[in-house]
Structures are given as structure tokens and as C-alpha cells.
Amino acid sequence: MTIHKEGYRIIGGSFVFLTILNLIFLKVFWGDSIVLGLLVTVSLLLFGVVVFFFRIPKRNIELNDKNILAPSDGTIVVIEEVEETEYIKGPATQISIFMSPLNVHCQWFPVNGKVVYTRHHDGSYLVAWHPKSSTENERNTIVVETANGIPIVFRQIAGALARRIVCFTKAGGEAKQDKQAGFIKFGSRIDVFVPLSAKINVELDQKVQATQTVLAELV
């Protein structure tokens, strides 16, 4: 397991802040070992949570042009036929993944191909499981065209706690299933839009792992 580069500044800032705070605690509560011990323990736990959030586990990733892999960890909260209005402008199957603050928050490309479209949208910060979060929250859309010319749309969506969406790619770039596409900080959601003809391999409330779970198969 490694720490993602997006966490370096926040982890460093948290360490400095908590160190200063504990020095103040040491001065104020000197002589009261119980209170001092409790405060130091809470500080260490908080720092551990911050470091844990930015973890990137090592995973064996098998590239497969037919598979649409989960781009993020989380829980399947939506599987339905919709009209994708931003890029496809037509019917597609939407598969949505909700990420809790405990999930790994890095995103990988779900398919191999070429990045043909990226766009950031400003918006609100509804809770990530809200139905309107897909269209009203701050979000970033990425479209990858497979070797067979099939566009796969996936969208990074901010949640009530998420305040920054990071995209590591742009139109014209290469997409590979073992390559990171972005990062969302502190709670969020991912929408994936696949062709109606694709075979869906997941179900509602299923836990999925990025790069490991096959959401659907292209046929």
C-alpha cells in the first residue's frame, strides 16, 4: 500500500496542525496524565484517518478490451436505463457507485482506448446518493472511446463532503485500465454510462473494487 500524491499536502498540514495542538495540550494539561493521554490518543487517531483516506492499495490489474471495470471502490446504488445528455445524447445504462469516506477515492479508467472528451461542471454539493447529484453537483465528465469506437462515459461527482475533484487526463490522452484517471476528496460518487447492449455483471447494493470488479461486458 502507498499514499497517493494528492494526500501529501493535506497529510503534512494535518501533521503540523496536530503537533502544534498537542504541544498546547502538553502545556495546558501538564500534570493531568489521563486527560493528556486521551487528547494525544484522539489526535493520533485523527491523523491515522487522514492517512488512511489517501491510501492506494496494490492490485493486480488484468487488461481486457471487452470488460468495463469499476473505476472506483464503493457500493452500487443505481442500475437503470437513462438518456445520457452530455455526450452520447441517447439511451444508455447508468451504473452508479457511491463511495463512503472509508473507500479508496482514486479512480482508474474503466476501459482501454482514447480519451475523447473531458469537461468540468461547477455545481452544488448534495449528498452523493441523491438522485439529482448526477446533474446538479459539481462534477467532471470523462469519455473514453474504445478500439471499436464505443464511447464509455464516466463522471466524477462531488458529494456533501467532497470539495475537490481532480482529473489526471485530457482529451487526446491514452486510457488504460491500469492507469489512474482522477481523485475525489472526502466522499463522492461515480456514474458510468455503458451501451444498452452491454451485459451487466453487477447488482444493486453490491460492493465493488476499482480495477477488480467487472461492471459490464461489451458484446
Phi/psi for 18 (5° steps) reads -70, -30
Cβ pair 162, 99 in contact under 8 A: no
Residue 201 banded pLDDT, cuts 50, 70, 90: very high
Percent of the chain predicted with pLDDT > 70: 89
Best CA proximity match to 184, nearest among 212, 210, 161, 205? 161
Residue in this structure with the C-alpha cell 491515522, named with its chain if needed: 48
Residue in this structure with the C-alpha cell 443505481, named with its chain if needed: 78
**In this model, does residue 132 exceed pLDDT 80?**
no
> Mean per-residue pLDDT for 158-185?
85
DSSP letter for 23, please: H
**In this model, does residue 135 exceed pLDDT 70?**
no
**In this model, does residue 161 exceed pLDDT 70?**
no
Residue 205, CA atoms < 13 Å, CB-side half-sphere: 0
Residue in this structure with the C-alpha cell 445524447, named with its chain if needed: 89
Catalytic residue among 133, 134, 188, 197: 188
Give Cβ neighbours of residue 170 (< 8 Å, ≥ 6 apart): 115, 118
Phi/psi for 69 (5° steps) reads -85, 155
Residue 93 banded pLDDT, cuts 50, 70, 90: very high
| 96, burial (CB in 10 Å: exposed 0-12, middle 13-18, buried 19+) | buried
Longest dimension (CA), the chain: 71
**In this model, does residue 133 exceed pLDDT 60?**
no
**In this model, does residue 175 exceed pLDDT 90?**
yes
pLDDT at residue 126, as a whole number = 58
> Mean per-residue pLDDT for 182-189?
80
pLDDT at residue 8, as a whole number = 83
Report pTM: 0.82
Residue 124 banded pLDDT, cuts 50, 70, 90: low
pLDDT at residue 136, as a whole number = 61
d(CA 169, CA 196): 26
Chain CA centroid to CA 95, Å: 14
Tell me whether residue 188 is one of the annotated catalytic residues: yes
Residue 113 banded pLDDT, cuts 50, 70, 90: very high
**In this model, does residue 25 exceed pLDDT 60?**
yes
> Mean per-residue pLDDT for 67-79?
96
**In this model, does residue 22 exceed pLDDT 90?**
no
The overall average pLDDT reported for the chain is 88
Buried b (16+ CB within 10 A) or exposed e, 59-94: eeeeeeeebbbbbbbbbbbbbeeeebeebbeeebbb
**In this model, does residue 53 exceed pLDDT 80?**
no
**In this model, does residue 67 exceed pLDDT 90?**
yes
